Structure 1
Amino acid sequence: MICVPNVNSIRKLILGEAHDTVYSIHPGSTRMYYDLKERFWGYGMKRVVAEYVAICDTCQRVKAEHQRPIGLLQPLKVPEWKWEEITMDFIVGLPCTQKGHNSIWVVVDRLTKVAHFIPVNTTYSGAKLAELYISRILHDSLDTKLRFSTTYHPQTDGQTERTNQILKDMFVVEPPI
């Protein structure tokens, strides 16, 4: 193996040969890294290769998507009245509180974006959740309909997923520097 010094001109020359020539044909960061790894070693080489490929205009234009295409978005109609349509989700796996709650039930009004965060336990029954809903979330009409969605599909329920992410971010404790 050849040890590559941390000199930009030398690194650019090696990266250019491995990426931009007619024989290499813009291999992408993973393939390029493994090809270079066989012959060269340099501190932070994987990061340097990824950065080099990320700014390559040709790679960005012809980058092939290797995932199945997602379905068409099904936009939800905008509700006319507050609390006419709501979204619900649970954040589970939290440490148990003094009152025995280990989850948060997130209920969001789709029109006003008002969010309620109700501490619950994962063992609560549907009847208990209905009781909490009536006691904690005051509204006139209980004429609601369930529209089920699946986890991690924001095209069906992006508001609740985004609200959950914000709430989770509030719980993250950053390590001291």
Structure 2
Amino acid sequence: MKSSKQKKAGLLQPLPVPEQPWQVVSLDFITGLPPTTSGHDAILVVIYKFSKMVHFIPTHTTARTEETAQLFVRHIIPQHGIPTTLISDRDPKFTSKFWKELMSLLRTKLAMSSAYHPQTDGQTERLNHCGQP
């Protein structure tokens, strides 16, 4: 039997609990929904980590990065201000140059979950699974 040369996986490192409301926000999408009468077939889910307050913003699976950023700016920032940190998975809408530039302009840190480890943002992932058939 050969010994494995691959490093053993380290322990999960939970994200720190925010000290104030509206500091840390996680983003994800619920997709694969039947279209509404207005044609929306996806939901942008925004969760505030401190209070666990959730916003569900109707969108389209085909929405471009710019449209997703506009939804965030239109629905979230006027109500709660600009968060210091955004946590998201590695969806192309969150890894694009445009999104990174927007976060830079807003002086917001963009924290990505580890590839193939959705448990990094378990709170959002659990909420998304509750709403899916």
Per the normalisation by structure 2, the TM-score is 0.66
One of 67, 71, 94 as aligned partner of 1:128:
67
Distance 1:101 1:151 in 2: 27
Q: Is the 8 A contact 1:152 1:161 kept in 2?
A: no
Percentage of identical aligned residues: 45
Task: Determine which structure has greater relative contact order: mean sequence separation of CA pairs < 8 Å that are 6+ residues apart, divided by chain length.
Answer: 2
1:97 aligned residue: 36
The alignment covers a number of residue pairs equal to 100
More helix by share: 1
1:88 aligned residue: 27
1:141, distance to aligned residue in structure 2 (A): 2.6
Q: Which runs of 4+ in 1 moved over 3 A?
A: none
Distance 1:128 1:72 in 2: 37
1:153, distance to aligned residue in structure 2 (A): 2.6
SS of the residue corresponding to residue 43 of structure 2 reads strand
Distance 1:131 1:109 in 2: 18
Unpaired runs of 5+ residues, structure 1, are 1-68, 173-177
Asked if residue 139 in structure 1 is aligned to residue 80 in structure 2, the reply is yes
**1:25-174 alignment to 2 at 5 Å?**
71-137=10-76, 138-143=79-84, 144-149=108-113, 150=115, 153-154=118-119, 156-168=120-132, 172=133
1:119, distance to aligned residue in structure 2 (A): 1.0
Distance 2:122 2:11 in 1: 15
SS of the residue corresponding to residue 117 of structure 1 reads strand
More strand by share: 2
Greater C-alpha radius of gyration: 1
Instruction: List per-residue Cα deviations over 1:114-147 (Å, max 9, x = no partner).
Output: 0111111122122211211122122223543211
